[in-house]
Amino acid sequence: MKRTTLGITTALLSAAALAATGTLGANAAEQNTAGQAGTISTALGLSGGEQLVPRDVVRDADGTHHLRFDRTLNGLKVIGGDLVVTQKAGQLTGVTKATEATLAGLDTSAPATARSGATLVVFALDHAPVLAWETVEHSVKQDQTPSELHTFTDAKTGETLLSYDDIHVAEGTGQSTFSGAVALNTTQSGSTFQLKDPARGNQAVNNLNNGSGTGTLFTDADNKWGNGTYTDKATAGVDAAYGAAKTWDYYKNIHGRSGIKNNGVGALSKVHYGNNYSNAFWSDSCFCMTYGDGAQNRNPLTSIDVAAHEMSHGVTSATAGLVYSGESGGLNEATSDIFGSTTEFHAGNTADAGDYLIGEKINIRGDGKPLRYMDKPSKDGRSLDYWSATAGNVDVHYSSGIANHFFYLLSEGSGQKTINGVAYDSPTVDNQPVTGIGRAKAEKIWYRALTTKFTSSTKYAAARTGTLAAAADLYGASSPEYAAVNRAWAAVNVK
C-alpha cells in the first residue's frame, strides 16, 4: 500500500458529503462523484484511457472525505487498480493506491481468440499490469457449499495469475438456539406477520426447507416465532433475524454505518440450507447470508458471532475489497473475526456474552471448543500467532490469526486476565508486555483503516501502516493509542 501527499486543489464533492451524512441517497452521491472523477483522474496523473468508478465515501466530522474508487482502462476493469483519495476543504491531501504501476501504454486490444464465458480485464494485483481473462465458475462442492471460483489468466501467455473462491465460508457445526428469548421487529401484512425488519432496511429471513435457491419468507399468524429447538423451523429464523439485527445495530451505533453497503438496505438471510450442511456463508452476488442445519439437520449455525462474521465479509467487499487469497485474504478473514467478536460484545446478550472466541457456541468439532481463539490463535492447532515470510502461503482462516492476535493485544493487552468469565493468556513474540487501549478504541481504529486506508492488495506490513495512520487520524500521531498500535504489531512480529 502506497501513500503520497498531494498539493492539488479541486472542487469539494458536496453530494458525496451529503450522502455520507444521510442527506442524499447513495445513487445521487455516485452520480456526483462520477462527474468529478475526471478532475481527480487528472490530478492524480492518470492516463487518458483511465476512468475512476466510485465505490464508497466516508466523511469525517471535520469535513474530510475519503473517496474510494475502482479503476478502468479503456473500459476494462483494473483488478488491483482501486484507490482511496483523501480530500479536505476542497484540496486533495492524500491518496492510497492498491498499485503504483503505470497503466499508460498498455495494449488493451482484445486477443484474436476470445475465451468462452470470460471477461477481459487488466490484472495489476501484485503484478506488472497485463491483459487477462477473468472467469467465474459457479458450482457446488461435495459438502454442499456453493463456489464462486474467480480465475485470472494472462491473455497472452495463458499463465494463471490468481485463483480464489469468493464465497466466504464459516467452518462449523451448530446447536439450535443460542440467544434465548429475544425481541424481533417484524412486518404485518394483512392477517399475517413476516420475518422482515422494517427498522433495519427490510432485512428478511427466508426458509430454504433444506433445499437451495431463494426460499420463502417466514410468516406467522400470532407474531410468536419458534420454540427454541430444531423441531420448529422458525427457531433458526429467529436466531438469523436476531444476529442480522445485532450486526446492523453494531455498525450503525459504533461506526455510523447504515447497513452492509452503507446505503440503508438490509441483507437477506436464508436458513435450513442443504441437508446436514455444517457451514454458513456470505455471498456478494445475492447480497445474502446462508446457514446450514449442521449434523442431522439439528444444529443450525446461527450464533451472533457467526452471523456478524459472515455479514462483515460484505462490509469488507463494499470497502477495502481485500482479495480472498494470501495475506490480504487473512486480513479479510480477521476483519470478520474482529467484528464478529465486537458485535457479540455490543449485543450484550446474557445467553451469549461477548468474548474473544470465535464460534464458541456452535461446538464445531463436537468437543465444546471454539473455532478460533483471538488471544492465542495457535490454540486451535492451526492458526498463526505471529507473522513470518510464509504467512501468505497459509489458508486464510489460519493466517488471520496474526491480525486477530494483534486486535486482542491492542484491546486487552498481554498476559493473563478474565473477561466475562473467560480466561485469557496472550503471549508476545518478544516476550515483552503490551498494554491494551480498550476494545472501544481498537475497533474504531480497525474500522477506519478498513474503510479509508486498506485496498484490495493490502498485506500485513501495509495493514500496520494503515492502522497507524488511522490511529493518528483519530487520536494523534503522538498519542498513547498510536504507540499502542505500533507496539501491538511488533508483538505479533509485524514491524
pLDDT tens sequence across 418-466: 999 999 999 999 999 999 999 999 999 999 999 999 999 999 999 999 9
Active-site choice (30, 50, 134, 310): 310
**Closest by CA position to 55, among listed 456, 466, 333, 336:** 456
Please tell me whether residue 85 adopts helix, strand or coil conformation: strand
2-23 pLDDT, tens digit each = 332 232 223 333 333 333 333 2
CA neighbor of 399 nearest in space, from 380, 382, 384, 379: 384
Largest pairwise CA distance in the chain: 66
Q: Is residue 100 among the annotated active site residues?
A: no
As a whole number of angstroms, the distance between CA 461 and CA 467 comes to: 10
Contact of 393 with 384, CB cutoff 8 Å: no
The 10 Å CB-count burial string (b at 16+, else e) for 327-343 is: bbbbbbbbbbbbbbbbb
Q: Where are the beta strands (DSSP E) in 212-324?
A: 216-217, 219-220, 268-273, 279-283, 288-292
Amino acid at site 370? P
d(CA 378, CA 384): 6
134 is catalytic: no
Residue 169: is its pLDDT beyond 60? Answer: no
The whole-number pLDDT of residue 36 equals: 55
As a whole-number percent, the residues of the chain with pLDDT over 70 amount to: 90
**Burial (CB count within 10 angstroms: exposed 0-12, middle 13-18, buried 19+), residue 476:** exposed
Residue pair 230/293 in contact (Cβ under 8 Å)? The answer is yes
Could you give the CA distance from residue 262 to residue 251 in angstroms, rounded to a whole number? 9
Whether the per-residue pLDDT at 91 is higher than 90: the answer is: no
pTM over 0.75: yes
In the predicted model, what is the mean pLDDT of residues 400-415? 98
Q: Specify the pLDDT at position 325.
A: 97
- 221 grid coordinates: 399468524
Which of the following is catalytic: 272, 309, 397, 405?
Answer: 397
The residue type of 248 is W
Helix orientation angle between 460-475 and 480-491, rounded to the nearest 10 degrees = 160
Q: Rounded to an integer, what is the distance from CA 230 to the centroid of its chain?
A: 30
Name the residue with cell 501513500.
3
Specify the higher pLDDT residue, 18 or 127.
127
User: 311, 244 in Cβ contact below 8 A?
Assistant: yes
Buried b (16+ CB within 10 A) or exposed e, 221-247: eeeebbeeebeebbbbbbbbbbbbbbb
